[in-house]
Amino acid sequence: MRNTRILVVDDEHLIRWSLEQSLKKQGYDVITAASGEEALRQVQEESPELMLLDIQLPGMDGLQVLEKVKEVDGEIIVVMVTALGVLETAVKAMRLGAHDYINKPFNLDELSIIIKKALETRQLRKEVAQLRSVHESKFGIDKIIGESRHMKQVLDMVRKVAKSDASTVLIQGESGTGKELIARAIHMESARKDKPFMAINCAAVPETLLESELMGHEKGAFTDAKSQKQGLFEMTDGGTLFLDEIGDMEVGMQAKLLRVLEERTVRRVGGNKEIPVDVRIVSATNQELLKKIEDKTFRNDLYYRLQVIPIYLPPLRERRDDIMVLVNFFIRHYNREFGKAVAGVSKMARKFLEEYEWPGNVRELKNIIERALILENEETLMLEHLPQELISKAGGVASGPMSLRIPPEGIDIEDVERELIRQSLEIAEGNQSKAAKMLNLGIDAFRYRMKKFGFLS
């Protein structure tokens, strides 16, 4: 890691000089100190990433320096340099926060390996911290969009559940309502947030493989088991395991899952050892599990074990107050992603968005806004910018002539034409060119009809 700054602390000039020359040849930026007091000053002024610290220093010894340094910079990697045979002191240094130690007289090649591994550990810690920060910023509860009464109740429940010791949570709701987002929020708000969050879709994994994925397997347990494998329960120990589409799990696997929940241990496929696990199970389904219990396709005892804490996510049509909040959020998001400058939506587009039933829920709304911002470049999102098949499905005016039906008593063709002119102008919010285009008319022909029906003086 070139340009990494290393502080060498030793009261012997020859050792400092030797280490400085060797480390500089390896591409490191090296500073030195002959005493503990000088080392502390260098740490404050130069912010080195790693320090080689001799334990036996005049005045303030290495252990005292280590304690003070860790108060100044808790992230600095400290490798202690000790005299041969003082293992007890080295162990004490490790307890105080030293990363490693090396005995004098030391081999420069051995020291080089220790330094390299120590710096790799520091970089790994930094990357993990950054990933955790990104994860928290993306999946924290404050990132869940919802101002309706329904969603405020859900988020209040999420906060309570996250802080509790509940080992099982069941999230129910239609597809696209954000069940995994809620599961991740529960994890991020809990004391388990520094431990793993693992997710698996029970409907996407064949029954024959699901047990191995969850429980793991021993080498030779089946034909393709060429090595031992930990399952998700073991890998998630201390954290949260999200079982999506739990309603699609086969009955045989349900029995094995129930045993894990009751015993808090797992047994790998082909193994006979019980492995203790501490995992919070968050399950999710878009199915009516009580109906599946009646149909004998879901175990009654597993259902009541999973739904100790039930959370119901309402569909978007039941939380219409959130529709425009979500629309504006997605517009801001895709403005940044695509370099667009959409300021908002027209009155007609807003009316449609608020009244549409949204069978695909938040996922469908997100996809619609993403598509619109990819294809359009205007400042205002118009109704005509929304997918025509969507408007047709909703029975809107943009469904075209094929959706018209002549009543049994008949109809005046001019009444139909007048209504089409009126609706096209309403949708286009008075923009004659856009209204004409919607009816496949030239602008002159369109204006002629506007005059004919009194829309233009």
The total number of structural domains that make up the chain: 4
Give this prediction's pTM: 0.64
Question: What is the DSSP pairing of strand 29-33 with strand 5-9?
Answer: parallel
What is the C-alpha to C-alpha distance for residues 347 and 349, in angstroms, rounded to an integer? 6
The pair of structure tokens assigned to 425 is: 């102008």
**Which pairing describes strands 100-104 and 77-83: parallel, antiparallel, or unpaired?**
parallel
Instruction: Annotate the chain with three-state secondary structure.
Output: CCCCEEEEECCCHHHHHHHHHHHHHCCCEEEEECCHHHHHHHHHHHCCCEEEEECCCCCCCHHHHHHHHHHHCCCCEEEEEEECCCHHHHHHHHHCCCCEEEEECCCHHHHHHHHHHHHHHHHHHHHHHHHHHHHHHHHCHHHCCCCCHHHHHHHHHHHHHHHCCCCEEEEECCCCCCHHHHHHHHHHCCCCCCCCEEEEECCCCCHHHHHHHHHEECCCCCCCCCCCEECHHHHCCCCEEEEECHHHCCHHHHHHHHHHHHHCEECCECCCCCEECCCEEEEEECCCHHHHHHCCCCCHHHHHHHCCEEEECCCHHHCHHHHHHHHHHHHHHHHHHHCCCCCEECHHHHHHHHHCCCCCHHHHHHHHHHHHHHHCCCCEECHHHCCHHHHHHCCCHHHCHHHCCCCCCCCCHHHHHHHHHHHHHHHCCCCHHHHHHHCCCCHHHHHHHHHHCCCCC
Instruction: For residue 193, give Cα distances in angstroms to 45, 122, 277, 343, 412.
Output: 34, 21, 16, 36, 67
**Statement to judge: residues 156 and 304 lie in one domain:** yes
pLDDT by 10s per residue, the chain, length 457: 557 899 999 999 999 999 999 999 998 999 999 999 999 999 998 889 999 999 888 888 889 999 998 888 888 899 988 876 566 777 788 888 888 888 888 888 888 998 888 888 777 777 665 555 555 555 678 778 888 999 999 999 999 999 999 999 999 999 999 999 999 999 999 999 989 999 999 999 988 889 999 999 888 778 777 788 889 999 999 999 999 999 999 999 999 999 999 999 999 988 889 999 999 999 999 999 999 999 999 999 999 999 999 999 999 999 999 999 999 999 999 999 999 999 999 888 898 899 899 999 999 999 999 999 998 888 999 888 888 777 766 655 444 444 456 777 778 888 888 888 888 888 888 889 888 888 888 888 888 889 888 888 7
Question: What whole-number distance in Å separates Cα of residue 331 and Cα of residue 351?
Answer: 17
**CATH number of the CATH domain containing 361:** 1.10.8.60
408, 296: one domain: no
Beta bridge partners of 170: 283, 310
Same domain membership, residue 293 and residue 173? yes
Same domain, 370 and 417: no
136 located within any domain: no
Q: How far apart are CA 77 and CA 100, in angstroms?
A: 9
Last residue of a domain, one of 131, 150, 165: 131
Within a domain: residue 86? yes
Same domain, 301 and 166: yes
- Give the domain CATH number at 164: 3.40.50.300
Q: What pLDDT sits at residue 120?
A: 84
Structural domain contains residue 198:
yes
Listed residue (166, 169, 167) closest to 182, CA to CA: 169
Task: Give domain status of residue 326, yes or no.
Answer: yes
Co-location of 246 and 102 in the same domain: no
Q: Do the domain assignments include residue 457?
A: no
* Residue 52, pLDDT score: 93
- Both tokens of 416, joined, read 């139909």
Tell me, yes or no, whether 166 and 255 share the same domain. Answer: yes
The count of other CB atoms within 10 Å of the CB of residue 338 is 13
Residue that terminates a domain, selected from 75, 106, 131 = 131
Is 423 inside a domain boundary? yes
Q: Which of 131, 166, 186 is the last residue before a domain boundary?
A: 131
Distance CA 2, CA 29 (A): 8
Residues 259 and 291 grouped into a single domain: yes
Residues 6+ apart with CB under 8 A from 359: none
Whose CA is closest to 192, among 242, 230, 153?
A: 242
Find the CATH number of the domain harbouring 434.
1.10.10
- pLDDT of 399 reads 40
Tell me, what's the pLDDT at 377?
86
Q: Is residue 40 part of a domain?
A: yes
For residues 307 and 170, is the Cβ–Cβ distance under 8 A? yes
Q: Are residues 168 and 292 in the same domain?
A: yes
Report how far residue 181's alpha carbon sits from residue 162's, in angstroms, rounded to the nearest whole number: 13
Tokens of 292: 């599946």
The reported pLDDT for the residue numbered 161 is 95
Range of the domain at 178: 141-314
Encode 115-125: b = buried (16+ Cβ within 10 Å), e = exposed.
Answer: beebbeebeee
As beta bridge partners, residue 283 has 170, 243
Tokens 């969050």 sit on residue: 197
Burial class (CB in 10 A: 0-12, 13-18, 19+), 221: middle
Query: Based on the domain organization, do 285 and 421 belong to the same domain?
Result: no
Residues 306 and 322 in one domain: no
CATH number at residue 101: 3.40.50.2300
Q: What residues does 102 pair with on adjacent strands? A: 81
Residue 398: per-residue pLDDT: 41
Same domain? For 308 and 325 the reply is no
CA distances from 448 to 134, 369, 428, 429, 432 (A): 58, 35, 18, 19, 12
Q: What is residue 292's predicted lDDT score, i.e. its pLDDT?
A: 95
